[in-house]
Structure 1
């Protein structure tokens, strides 16, 4: 059985072109040595996206001439993964020296690299401080994952302010959750977004095998991470803070429509268009959700950026246009068309009877709307209740 993820759901279509227009491309000529201060990078969340970024960055740095005493990339894994790892070297006493054999399939070529792994909670005193963490977990697992390694994000140990780059779905909600769960944290939270298409195949014999099906781009406000991605073949684009926020709201609009509706009706993305339910075209519900998300997104951008000197009246107006109902409607339609054969991550979760990310997507929009602006979002809220009722019925 082939399963696909829509974590990297924004393909190389006009939609992605509009995203790129808000970004600045890092020059491929930027030397890797400029990024040595960025290292080492820790990655938590060993799903498709986490393994893709870890393997590509690890491979690029191993091919470079940088002399570093530390591994460029380290995967942070839970103890349950240990049986599927291999020992690094022959010293049986060095239980922490483990590697994950990651196989990357791209353009029908298979390449395997061994990425260093640290088992979370094992011999903690021997594990290094975390300078930069790439968060790639499911949204609902993010805070629990961070709790398990939070003591390693201590500025007094790292001698600098640690950073968390959120590459997970539901980044806006995750940042809020981090602020609530770790209120006194001296950690910089950075938004990121990926449009790379990557999936796992349950028929693969390799546990850590990923298929890079669609070459996309990486968007982030951190220039050094963008350069690392560019040098690693992950196509890095540097975003301004407001442009990054606009992009995440556009992606959230897609997820608020595609994920719950595909899960509720048990269909692929492409089957949503024209779908009838209780004698009514489901497109009307899709439009209502888009209208609600648009109203909240525009208020958020206006509230956060109108008074900032770096943003002009023209840039604020451009953001309003990007987040308007017609613009979001077009964006959602294009993404659903280009990912027509995809099985959404929420549908996969429902089929597997797993907790979904609906509260970090639709639920987040409803909370922001109600708590900050007194706006009701009945259609967006109904997606939360219907998805949760669906899971309850499945037991």
Structure 2
């Protein structure tokens, strides 16, 4: 990590900007959740096998060692070779399990490095997760449990298709989809048109950080063979945050509390307020880090970003395209102003929230705080670009601001539209060999 970015990471530990008095509310909500009597529970199904989905599922499974059906991960057919029966699990992983351990009928193995606030990393744990293959004709006759509670953790651009693939498995009497993906506000609108009337769509958000880049030296301590390693889903719980769920789902809050995911139930309007601010942060961080091939914290290193910005202006001029923003900071300010304008238009009917939270000034402070707190991270959009994926979440972030601004409010959003076009251009080029700032 370069020296300026290291300073940003160090500084981030001192910059604490609260949203909705987040930490105070968290303490209040946690005490309320633990005081409630246990609610009836059903299996939690997790749709999305990326870092967030595996973190949610692994955390719930760790808190339920004797109940393998507490959580089930839904997987696409290409995971089939890594799904193990109890017999295969015993054959491949011979080490003894903890007292009272009960294996699931089918499982995948997550090599989880739990969060640690110490210099020394936490020891890696092998977690067996109940797994169910979906979308494969060869597995259509396998037994399954109807989905009552679905945690949606996919990429935003994959969310609607992913949910469509499991609609036949949803409980027709009563079910719910808890949307934890980026772009939850846009996803909610899309899902509302395809789900059964008895299915409720629940807004949620998490500030936990996770990634798949587990330390090889730490993994070596497990002394696993190559044949064992091929089954592993490596996962690092890199950042301890909070998880917010729309109020009215106490059983889910309690499950997340027991799993150590620090949940808080928020009234729907406060939930939307938080999601608008998170959307603003994503509209700045994701496209700009993808365009400049940089970690999040580099956006606070002005000279690096402005140098890259001048290069971008020169390139566009060569292609006879004028950029109206003299500096990248000007562009960022306009992105935030546009999100603020649309957010205020969308929430104008809400009487029980502090609309000042959606002012450009407050949102700007929030975005800066998020950048500093995630300074060392590679944004999900940057990862998509480097991986050569065919799409990104841009349509559910800046594209969402552009679309509802024009269609619902007659408001032009040139800064967000510009970032959409720049990211879509990136998808047409080879980005695999570009160095990160």
Instruction: Provide the TM-score with structure 1 as the length reference.
Output: 0.85
Q: 1:247 aligns to what?
A: 274
Q: Secondary structure at the match of 1:115?
A: strand
Q: 1:360 aligns to what?
A: 396
In structure 2, distance between residues paired with 1:14 and 1:372: 32
Q: Secondary structure at the match of 1:371?
A: helix
In structure 2, distance between residues paired with 1:41 and 1:29: 18
Q: Does the 8 Å CA contact 1:28/1:230 hold for their aligned counterparts?
A: no
Cα deviation for residue 124 of structure 1 reads 4.4
Q: 1:97 aligns to what?
A: 105
Q: Does the 8 Å CA contact 2:33/2:250 hold for their aligned counterparts?
A: no
Aligned match for 1:287, one of 308, 322, 333: 333
Over residues 151-173 of structure 1, what are the superposed CA-to-partner deviations in whole Å (9 max), with x where a residue is unaligned? 11142xxxx41100011111111
Change (3 A) 1:243 1:255: same
Q: 1:214 aligns to what?
A: 239
Q: 2:164 aligns to what?
A: 147
Q: 2:125 aligns to what?
A: 111
Q: Indicate yes or no: 2:269 matched with 1:256.
A: no
Change (3 A) 1:183 1:25: closer
Q: 2:189 aligns to what?
A: 176
Over residues 100-131 of structure 1, what are the superposed CA-to-partner deviations in whole Å (9 max), with x where a residue is unaligned? 11121023221112111111131346222101
Q: Does the 8 Å CA contact 1:40/1:132 hold for their aligned counterparts?
A: yes
Cα deviation for residue 141 of structure 1 reads 0.7
Cα deviation for residue 61 of structure 1 reads 2.1
In structure 1, distance between residues paired with 2:234 and 2:188: 29
Q: Secondary structure at the match of 2:204?
A: strand
Change (3 A) 1:17 1:332: same
Q: 2:30 aligns to what?
A: 26
Aligned match for 1:381, one of 417, 424, 433: 417
Q: Secondary structure at the match of 1:128?
A: coil
In structure 2, distance between residues paired with 1:301 and 1:173: 15
When structure 1 is superposed on structure 2, of 270-279 and 106-115 the one drifting more is 270-279
Change (3 A) 1:103 1:33: farther
In structure 1, distance between residues paired with 2:328 and 2:373: 19
In structure 2, distance between residues paired with 1:116 and 1:337: 36
Cα deviation for residue 265 of structure 1 reads 1.4
Q: How does 1:1-395 map to 2 (within 5 A)?
A: 13-15=16-18, 18-21=21-24, 24-27=28-31, 30=34, 34-35=38-39, 37-62=40-65, 71-89=69-87, 97-106=105-114, 107=116, 108-121=122-135, 122-124=139-141, 126-155=143-172, 160-180=173-193, 182=194, 185-201=197-213, 205=229, 207-221=232-246, 222-273=249-300, 274=302, 275-276=305-306, 277-278=309-310, 280-303=326-349, 305-306=350-351, 315-316=352-353, 318=354, 320-354=355-389, 355-394=391-430
In structure 2, distance between residues paired with 1:228 and 1:127: 21
Cα deviation for residue 62 of structure 1 reads 2.4
Cα deviation for residue 81 of structure 1 reads 0.5
Q: What are structure 1's unaligned runs of at least 5 residues? A: 1-9, 307-314
Q: Does the 8 Å CA contact 1:19/1:247 hold for their aligned counterparts?
A: no
Q: Does the 8 Å CA contact 1:135/1:168 hold for their aligned counterparts?
A: yes
Q: Secondary structure at the match of 2:427?
A: helix
In structure 1, distance between residues paired with 2:149 and 2:129: 17
Q: Secondary structure at the match of 2:345?
A: helix
Q: Does the 8 Å CA contact 1:20/1:237 hold for their aligned counterparts?
A: no
Change (3 A) 1:301 1:124: farther
Q: Secondary structure at the match of 1:97?
A: coil
Q: Does the 8 Å CA contact 2:45/2:71 hold for their aligned counterparts?
A: yes
Q: Secondary structure at the match of 1:74?
A: strand
Change (3 A) 1:348 1:125: closer
Change (3 A) 1:47 1:179: same
Q: Secondary structure at the match of 2:65?
A: helix
In structure 2, distance between residues paired with 1:271 and 1:44: 32
CA RMSD across the alignment: 2.6
Q: Secondary structure at the match of 2:74?
A: strand
